[in-house]
Amino acid sequence: MKYLIFIIACISIMSGSQTYAKECPATKVKVIETLDWSNVIGSKVIETGITGAASKFTTTASTTYQGRVEAVGYPGSMHLVRRMWFSKCPGGERVVSDYIVAGVTKNACDRSGTEFALTWSQKDKPSSVTQCKLKREKTYYLNYLQTKGGSEGPTPSSRMVRGFSARN
């Protein structure tokens, strides 16, 4: 049995996929860091490459914690369309936090564009319907992906800048 587990682990590593919790399928999305969710400030360059990247984090017990994550271009990747979303697995389906504007359903946990902000809250009732509502003391992934902008798509060295601010 030990050998079978070892062989499966080796195949997973050799194929470039990563396996996470039982409910998360294998993925090519690289988890680049584990965030200290209560102590992330400032900006960081994120290498998204072609398949995207994700940051793992666990929400705090605070009932008032909220903030924003911003996405902007990086030299050489300015033409790309960026996307960030919260999910329960790296590269997984977005957390559902829908709201309606002018008859159109939108999701507060998923944003895309060339530059944008994704706001979130751990409050029982967020300050705004446009804030992604995250449950307290749960593990999530903040996903980063860049897609074709104009005639060119992302390359293995594509990057974006993530800004982060929070308050309790």
On whether residue 17 sits in a domain, the answer given is: no
Encoding tokens for residue 39?
A: 């102590």
Domain that holds residue 81: 27-167
On whether residue 12 sits in a domain, the answer given is: no
- Give the CB-side neighbour count of residue 38, counting CA atoms within 13 A: 11
Please give the pLDDT value at position 10: 32
Q: Beta-carbon neighbour count of residue 81 at 10 Å?
A: 16
The tally of domains found in the chain comes to 1
On whether residue 10 sits in a domain, the answer given is: no
**CB within 8 Å of 23: residues ≥ 6 apart:** 88, 89
What is the C-alpha to C-alpha distance for residues 52 and 120, in angstroms, rounded to an integer? 21
On whether residue 9 sits in a domain, the answer given is: no
Please give the pLDDT value at position 22: 59
Per-residue pLDDT of the chain (168 residues; tens, 9 = 90+): 443 333 333 323 333 444 445 578 888 899 999 988 777 778 999 999 999 999 999 999 999 999 999 999 999 888 899 999 999 999 999 999 888 888 888 899 999 999 999 999 999 888 888 999 999 999 999 999 999 877 888 989 899 999 988 888
Q: What is the CATH number of the domain that holds 114?
A: 2.60.120
Q: Which of 84, 62, 60, 88 is nearest to 163 (CA)?
A: 84
